[in-house]
Amino acid sequence: MSTDELIWDVKKDRVLRELKKGKRLDGRKKMESRKVEITPGFLGRAEGSAMVKLGNTRVVAGAKLGIGTPYPDSPEDGVLITSIELSPVASPMFETGPPRGKTVEAARVIDRGIRESNMVKTEELCIEPGEKIWTVFVDIFPMDHDGNIIDASAIAAVAALKNAKIPKYEDEKIIRDEFQGKLPTRDTPVAKTFAKIGDEIVLDPEIYEEKSKDARLTVYINDKDNVCASQKGGSGAFKREEVNKLIKEAVKKAPETRKQIEEL
Dump pLDDT digits (tens) for 199-209: 999 999 999 99
Instruction: Please choose, from the candidates 52, 73, 75, 77, the residue with its C-alpha nearest in 3D space to the C-alpha of residue 62.
Output: 52
| Fold that domain 20-262 belongs to in CATH | Ribosomal Protein S5; domain 2 (3.30.230)
Q: Which of 2-16, 34-48, 53-67, 103-117 has the lowest mean pLDDT?
A: 2-16
In the chain, domain spans: 20-262
Amino acid at 1: M
Give me the phi and psi of 214, to 5 degrees please: -100, -30
**d(C-alpha 141, C-alpha 25), whole Å:** 27
* Cα–chain center distance at 224: 19
Cβ proximity of 136 and 214 under 8 Å: no
Burial status of residue 5 (CB atoms within 10 A of its CB: 0-12, 13-18, 19 or more): exposed
Where does the chain have alpha helices with state H?
3-20, 101-116, 149-162, 207-212, 240-262
**d(C-alpha 163, C-alpha 184), whole Å:** 10
> Is 123 a residue whose pLDDT tops 50?
yes
Residue of higher predicted confidence among 182 and 264: 182
Q: Residue 248: which residues within 8 A CB-CB, separation 6 or more? A: none
Amino acid at 235: S
93: confidence class by pLDDT, cuts 50, 70, 90: confident
**d(C-alpha 17, C-alpha 234), whole Å:** 21
pTM of whole model > 0.85?
yes
Please give the pLDDT value at position 100.
Answer: 62
Instruction: Please choose, from the candidates 189, 194, 204, 193, the residue with its C-alpha nearest in 3D space to the C-alpha of residue 258.
Output: 189
